[in-house]
Amino acid sequence: MTTLRPAILLLILLTLVTGGLYPLLTTLLGQWWFPAQANGSLILDAKEVRGSSLIGQNFSEDKYLQGRPSATADTPYNPMASGGSNLAGSNPELDKVVASRVAALRAANPQATPAVPVELVTASASGLDGQVSPQAAAWQIARIAKARNLPVEQVKRLIAENTTQPLIGFMGKPVVNVLLVNVALDALQAP
C-alpha cells in the first residue's frame, strides 16, 4: 500500500491540474485576451447574430457574394456535419458535379470571364469555408452590382474593405470574408 499511495496522490494532483485548473485558466485568459474569437467570432447586425465569420453560409441569390460550395451532410454549411465529399479527382461523379456548378456560375455571371475560379466549384475539406480569394470575389462583382443596381466601384470597395491580408506576407494568402461583404451590402440598401 505504501507504493500505491504516491501514485494515487499524483493521479489526483494531475487530474486536478490538467482536468480542472489548466482548462479554467485557458478559458479565462481566452475570454480576457480574445473575447470575440473565444465566443465564436460572431457577426452582429442590429444586435442580431448573422453568423460566424469563420463558417460559410449558403448565399445563392444574385445580389450576394457567394462562397465555396459545401459538401456537408443533410444541408449545406451544416457545422454539425463538417466534412468534404470524399470524391476522388478521378471519380466521374465529381466531374459531373463540377461541370454543373461551372454551367450554373457561367449562366449567373454572363459578364465574367469564362474561366470560373476553381474554388467556386470545388468544396473544401471542411465544407464550411467562410472566405474566398480576392480573385473569386472579383469574378462576381459585375453580377452583384447589376442585381443591386450599385456602381461596380462601390462593390469593389466593399470587397477590398473586407479582405484580410496575412500577418506575414509569405504565410498565407489574402482572403475575403463572404459574410462580412454580404452584411455590408445589405446595410447599403437598408431603408
Distance CA(105)–CA(98), nearest Å, equals 10
CB 69 within 8 A of CB 121: yes
Question: Which of 135, 118, 110 shows the shortest CA–CA distance to 69?
Answer: 118
pLDDT of residue 191: 56
Are 164 and 80 in contact by the 8 Å Cβ rule? The answer is no
Q: Check: CB of residue 130 under 8 Å from CB of residue 53.
A: yes
pTM comes to 0.79
- Torsion angle of C-alpha atoms 135, 136, 138, 143, degrees rounded to 10: 160
Determine the average pLDDT of the residues in 74-103. Answer: 81
8-36 residue pLDDT tens: 999 999 999 999 999 999 999 999 999 88
pLDDT band at 127 (very low <50, low <70, confident <90, very high): confident
How many angstroms separate the CA atoms of 113 and 142, rounded? Answer: 11
- C-alpha cell of 128? 464550411
Mark out the alpha helices in 34-86 (DSSP H runs).
35-38
- Contacts (Cβ under 8 Å, ≥6 apart) of 51: 42, 43, 57, 130, 179
Q: Of 16-20, 98-102, 120-124, which has the strongest mean pLDDT?
A: 16-20
